[in-house]
Amino acid sequence: MKKTFVLVVLFVLPILIYLFFASGVTNFGRLTQLTEEVAEVDFGQDAVSLDGKITILGFLGKNIQYQQAQAFNLNQKIYKRFYEFNDFQFVMVMPKGTEEAVESLKKELNQLADASKWHFVFGEDEEIKKQFNSLESNLTLGEDLGTPYVFIIDKERRLRGRDDDEDEGVKFGFNALEVAELNNKMVDDVKIILAEYRMALKKNNSNREK
């Protein structure tokens, strides 16, 4: 009897666990495409692009000192967990005139983790509004051109989110001031989109080998 139990634990249980998680990936393997074509951030001085990257896009606004909590929450809960993945980046769209404050923020972020995948692009007010409006979300940009919400953009510049969120119905972005939302929702959704591209890459490599 003991031998049978040990055999079940060693061989059958791992198979059942694998099948459970495999079915979970199949049923919850993609994020909804909410907007087909988000505008490229082609107004910045640096060579930052959304094309070909999985991007967390944010707008910190003119009063960056009031949005630092947002940046630190994202850094701790999302960035540090995922920044080592290839083609993953943070892009913060900033109003011109905030360059000095951004440099100070970058120094603080670098003390917590390698902040090389935090990118800041600076634009005129109208350029920033146009960028935000291209998301076609149900959210609004503040008068200071900032918002606590951040957005997941895929490699084809499509806004990804949820169309069946239990709290909001359609969920376009994540409130970076709410740690619970980052932990309970955004972490899962970033995992999903990274897994989606990893699975696609493995499939392509497998097809080439055939």
pLDDT tens digit sequence for 40-52: 998 866 789 999 9
| Residue type (1 letter), 120 | F
- Which secondary-structure segment (H or E) carries 149? strand 146-153
**pLDDT on residue 130:** 97
Q: Kindly tell me if the per-residue pLDDT of 187 is higher than 60.
A: yes
| Burial class for 57, CB neighbours closer than 10 Å (0-12, 13-18, 19+) | buried
User: What percent of the chain stands above pLDDT 90?
Assistant: 71
Report the DSSP pairing between strands 146-153 and 169-171.
unpaired
Between 118 and 28, the more confident residue is 118
Amino acid at 109: L
Phi and psi at residue 83, in whole multiples of 5°? -65, -20
- If one compares 199 and 4, the residue with the highest pLDDT of the two is 199
* Cα–Cα distance for residue pair 145/163, rounded to 1 Å: 26
Of the candidates 63, 46, 142, 56, the one whose C-alpha atom is nearest the C-alpha of residue 105 is 63
